[in-house]
A and B are shown apart, each in its own frame.
Chain A
Amino acid sequence: MSHDHSHEAHGHAHVHHHEENFITKYVFSQDHKMIAKQFLITGIVMGVLGMLMSMVFRLQLGFPDMDMAFLKPFLGKWISVDDTTGFGKLDPNFYLALITIHGTIMVFFVLTAGLSGTFSNLLIPLQCGARDMASPFLNMLSYWFFFLSSLVMFCSLFVEDGPASPGWTVYPPLSALPKALPGSGTGMTLWLISMIFFIVSALLGGMNYITTVLNMRTKGMKMSRMPLTIWAFLLTAVLGLLSFPVLFGGSLLLVMDRSFGTSFYLSDIPVELTGGIERTGGSPVLFQHLFWFLGHPEVYIILMPALGITSEVIATNSRKPIFGYRAMIISLLGIAFLSFIVWAHHMFITGMNPFLGSVFMVTTLIIAVPSAVKTFNYLTTLWRGNIQFTPAMMFAIGLVSFFIAGGLTGIFLGNAALDINLHDTYFVVAHFHIVMGSAAIFGMFSGIYHWFPKLFRRHMNKAAGYVHFWLTFISAYGVFFPMHFIGLAGVPRRYYANTAYESFDVWMDVNQFITICALLGGLAQVIFLINFFYSIRKGRKSEQNPWKSNTLEWTAPVEHLHGNWPGEIPTVYRWPYDYSNPNYTEDFVPQNVPHEGQTDENQEFEHPHPTT
């Protein structure tokens, strides 16, 4: 009898919860927290893919005489094995494909969608005090376009002639003439299709982020009280929204050149490459202009969310207000504006007018000013702080280190005269891998460790986090620091092997060192992956505000509710960096706590300096 009853109760419970089934909850979810997780996991999967590719080409560069037959099961015909000796070599064309897809995946799929997609989705509604994004439906579409784009890029790896291989910047004519390289054929077409889906995703996401920040802040959340993360995400979205369409236009013309016989980017092409049609009148430099009009803001699309995350993590874990809150906002605005007028510093040696080169050199060097403001503000926030060395904090400090180290070489490269020597050498590779690659990925790790309790209601393992940090930090410098010297010696990037030239061959021992560091770095990520996926299920349970932080996301319950707060959305009474306020006994005062005697949320109070 009671047995029957329990069955009935069970069925009854199901009826109550039927509005959320597996599909609507985990797959086509419109909840911003779930979409954030989807972006994160997809980003991590793509990141692993991109990392594995770099391992393969690092092996080739460090040990060009190595037997690669053991990779045959994974890479198939891209490893040519000698029948008699059984010795395996990496196919040179596949090497080009590897560097192209590694760049594309890391720049767009991991550090654009994986970073800004994850944390904009998670934090914008939670830190602004909104129930969800402005349009949850478009938000869902944004993820699925990204997924489709990732899928197409992934599938392009299995094309007969190999994936796209003209480098991640896909300069014509290599990218415009299907016969130019094996990877200029179907692989390149799929690359363009994938990017068009990606741009649609970025557009839908960006529209949502901007609208939510502008329109849906809770009461009292003035622009001058927004956490710096939100400022960074807002400006990132603006950058994406204004620069991705230009890549769209550029890609459209490239598709036309590839498939419909136009010559926008082609001039004086030998007839045997074009199938008899005359291809003339266009300009390959035009593509570079259009590409870098996206390409340079893209650097800041990658970096700014990481900088925003770092501001938040450093202030929280120094138990001090961020130093120069307004200066931080102004420098973000400055970086965002300047990022649109520096693009031609990627093109100094294209034959551009040298006067134009010096104009772009000046704007480029000006970017050092807001960047330095940010760096010094991080350092002064840390200064005499009560620093909590959580894994997130370690990664945030790591970001500052990379931002300085990579920023300094930016001053060399921004110089039009020096660029004649340094262009397309390993010096460039070292520069951008430190300043936007390592710095941004450290920002992403920092964000993952810091907001993991918000995403998955559990903590990641701290000890594994420290091991992950130190191994990654040491190996990242081990990989990219020596590249400066190789680059200064003139070793060009993108070469399959440097053994044919005496002056490049002498660097072989350094290349081996780099490869060993890269393998060590890869190993460190295995620790991270185990920690990440293990902690999702088995991690230590988190309390509501584990870092004693001020921002609104920590006022929401640990359980994920649709709508974020069970009752009314909290009202904001103060700025987000009230740490170690001498007027309070606790060393943090959340944004939703009113000042003593505050009658309405718009009243402003002074921010007292913490007693140090």
Chain B
Amino acid sequence: MSTETTALKKTKSIWAGGFSPFNVSYGKLMMWIFLLSDAFTFSSLLVAYGTIRFSHPSPPHGQVVIEGQTIKPLGHVPEKFVELLGETKNTEGITYFSKQHWPSPELVFNHFPGLHGLHLPLFFVSLMTFILIFSSVTMVLAVEAGHRMDQNSVRKYMFYTILGGLAFLSCQAWEWTQFITEGASLHGNPFGPTAFAALFFIVTGFHGFHVFSGVVLNFIIYLNTINGTYAKRGHYEMIEKVGLYWHFVDLVWVFVFTFFYLI
């Protein structure tokens, strides 16, 4: 053990070992990693959507011009469509749906509970989106309250978040029911290619399942908050971890919304 070469440099980096490079607990890091992985699951489904969507021609007239409330309630259209030419036209002869063309989402999803017969394109789904984003806001407030160790505020905002999640799920249930009543299923779609309905049910269903799991998690941490588990533990990190999941589900919805309703 004679002469050692001299020290090159003295570096201290966050990657040096002995502590977390991102200064996060293992649980939070795992949640991030899980979300990254889950993002790939959704990506695969959305890629499948894209592939099938663009193997079909776009709606007949691109953006169909709707004149006020004059068009027929779309709930009655399908039977005619199936029986006649494979096309659906209104009284002026404008084609709405055909067996070959991918349907225009704003013509399929134009209902609103309690406002029967009105053409309200994407109004309801916009409300759903608003509800989900709003529940993300209350989640942020719950996390922030957790940082202040304010048990009552955490409890309050978690309650609102759960409420938002349940409201979203209820809206989705209504939207599905409406679509199914009009004749859509996994192997049939009165508005055009079958794949439109099948993809709609799979992808929004998979997202809805994520929302449902999120509501369950939210409910568990809500109970823990009430019981004072986190107050005893000295921190509300669990709220942050579940919060990450909840924001992710919200972000995914933005993509699902874009793909299914806007493209």
Are A and B part of the same complex?
yes
Q: Which one of B3, B17, B42 contacts A221 once the chains associate, using CB atoms below 8 Å?
A: B17
Report yes or no: B195 in contact with A245, Cβ–Cβ below 8 A.
no
The minimal Cβ–Cβ distance linking B103 to chain A, given in whole angstroms, is 13
Q: Which one of A135, A138, A245, A601 contacts B44 once the chains associate, using CB atoms below 8 Å?
A: A245
Q: Complex Cα distance A595/B3, Å?
A: 10
**Stretch of B48-56, B87-95, B156-164 with 4 or more beta carbons under 8 angstroms from chain A:** B48-56
Chain A residues near B41 (CB, 8 Å)? 245-246, 248-249
- Flag whether A604 is at the interface (Cβ < 8 A): yes
Report yes or no: B51 in contact with A220, Cβ–Cβ below 8 A.
no
Query: A203-B34, A253-B202 given as contacts; is B12 within 8 A of A602 (CB)?
Result: yes
- Flag whether A572 is at the interface (Cβ < 8 A): yes
**Stretch of B25-33, B76-84, B128-136 with 4 or more beta carbons under 8 angstroms from chain A:** B25-33
Report yes or no: B26 in contact with A211, Cβ–Cβ below 8 A.
yes
The minimal Cβ–Cβ distance linking A474 to chain B, given in whole angstroms, is 42
- Flag whether B224 is at the interface (Cβ < 8 A): no
Report yes or no: A214 in contact with B29, Cβ–Cβ below 8 A.
yes
- Flag whether A512 is at the interface (Cβ < 8 A): no
Give a binary string over B164-193; 1 marks a CB under 8 Å from any A CB, 0 the rest: 000000000000000000000111000001
Query: A203-B37, A261-B186, A263-B198 given as contacts; is B7 within 8 A of A603 (CB)?
Result: yes
Report yes or no: B33 in contact with A604, Cβ–Cβ below 8 A.
no
Report yes or no: B44 in contact with A246, Cβ–Cβ below 8 A.
yes
Query: A277-B187, A290-B47 given as contacts; is B38 within 8 A of A585 (CB)?
Result: no
Give a binary string over B46-80; 1 marks a CB under 8 Å from any A CB, 0 the rest: 01100110011000000000000000000000000
- Flag whether A286 is at the interface (Cβ < 8 A): yes
Q: Which one of B33, B43, B195, B206 contacts A241 once the chains associate, using CB atoms below 8 Å?
A: B33
The minimal Cβ–Cβ distance linking B148 to chain A, given in whole angstroms, is 27
The minimal Cβ–Cβ distance linking A223 to chain B, given in whole angstroms, is 5
Query: A249-B41, A256-B202, A585-B1 given as contacts; is B48 within 8 A of A281 (CB)?
Result: no
Report yes or no: A215 in contact with B20, Cβ–Cβ below 8 A.
yes
Report yes or no: A220 in contact with B18, Cβ–Cβ below 8 A.
yes
- Flag whether B223 is at the interface (Cβ < 8 A): no
- Flag whether A566 is at the interface (Cβ < 8 A): no
Q: Complex Cα distance A606/B9, Å?
A: 10
Chain A residues near B20 (CB, 8 Å)? 214-215
Query: A281-B52, A605-B4 given as contacts; is B38 within 8 A of A245 (CB)?
Result: yes
Chain A residues near B2 (CB, 8 Å)? 583
- Flag whether A598 is at the interface (Cβ < 8 A): yes
- Flag whether A283 is at the interface (Cβ < 8 A): yes
The minimal Cβ–Cβ distance linking B75 to chain A, given in whole angstroms, is 24
Q: Which one of A129, A215, A223, A241 contacts B26 once the chains associate, using CB atoms below 8 Å?
A: A215
- Flag whether A282 is at the interface (Cβ < 8 A): yes
Report yes or no: B8 in contact with A282, Cβ–Cβ below 8 A.
no
Q: Complex Cα distance A263/B38, Å?
A: 24
Query: A203-B34, A245-B37, A606-B5 given as contacts; is B29 within 8 A of A222 (CB)?
Result: no
Q: Complex Cα distance A277/B44, Å?
A: 26
Within 8 A of B (CB), among A386-436: none
Smallest CB gap from A253: residue in B:
B48
Q: Which one of B3, B44, B198 contacts A256 once the chains associate, using CB atoms below 8 Å?
A: B198
Q: Complex Cα distance A595/B8, Å?
A: 12
Q: Complex Cα distance A260/B202, Å?
A: 11
Q: Which one of B3, B9, B17, B42 contacts A222 once the chains associate, using CB atoms below 8 Å?
A: B17
- Flag whether B45 is at the interface (Cβ < 8 A): yes
How many chain A residues have a CB neighbour from B under 8 Å?
65
Smallest CB gap from B51: residue in A:
A286
Q: Complex Cα distance A439/B18, Å?
A: 35
Give a binary string over A561-597; 1 marks a CB under 8 Å from any B CB, 0 the rest: 0000000000010000000000111000000000111
Q: Complex Cα distance A227/B18, Å?
A: 16
Q: Complex Cα distance A203/B40, Å?
A: 12
- Flag whether B233 is at the interface (Cβ < 8 A): no
Chain B residues near A134 (CB, 8 Å)? 26, 29-30
- Flag whether B10 is at the interface (Cβ < 8 A): yes
- Flag whether A210 is at the interface (Cβ < 8 A): yes
Q: Which one of A222, A260, A263 contacts B16 once the chains associate, using CB atoms below 8 Å?
A: A222
Q: Complex Cα distance A203/B39, Å?
A: 13
Smallest CB gap from A277: residue in B:
B187
Report yes or no: A220 in contact with B8, Cβ–Cβ below 8 A.
no
Q: Complex Cα distance A293/B45, Å?
A: 13
- Flag whether B113 is at the interface (Cβ < 8 A): no
Q: Complex Cα distance A309/B176, Å?
A: 52
- Flag whether A354 is at the interface (Cβ < 8 A): no
Q: Complex Cα distance A86/B70, Å?
A: 80
- Flag whether A451 is at the interface (Cβ < 8 A): no
Report yes or no: A604 in contact with B16, Cβ–Cβ below 8 A.
no
Q: Which one of B4, B24, B52, B199 contacts A595 once the chains associate, using CB atoms below 8 Å?
A: B4
Query: A246-B40, A246-B44 given as contacts; is B26 within 8 A of A216 (CB)?
Result: yes
Chain B residues near A263 (CB, 8 Å)? 187, 194-195, 198
The minimal Cβ–Cβ distance linking B26 to chain A, given in whole angstroms, is 4
Report yes or no: A248 in contact with B44, Cβ–Cβ below 8 A.
yes
Q: Which one of B8, B44, B194, B206 contacts A290 once the chains associate, using CB atoms below 8 Å?
A: B44
- Flag whether A456 is at the interface (Cβ < 8 A): no
CB-CB nearest 5 A-B residue pairs: A249-B44, A219-B18, A221-B17, A261-B187, A217-B17
What would be 18 A-B contacts, judged by CB atoms less than 8 Å apart?
A135-B30, A206-B37, A218-B18, A223-B15, A242-B40, A245-B40, A246-B44, A250-B48, A252-B206, A261-B187, A278-B187, A281-B56, A583-B5, A584-B1, A597-B4, A604-B7, A604-B11, A605-B5
Contacts A263-B194, A604-B9 aside, 12 further interface pairs with beta carbons under 8 A come to: A207-B34, A212-B26, A215-B24, A215-B26, A221-B17, A222-B13, A260-B187, A262-B187, A282-B52, A583-B4, A595-B4, A605-B5
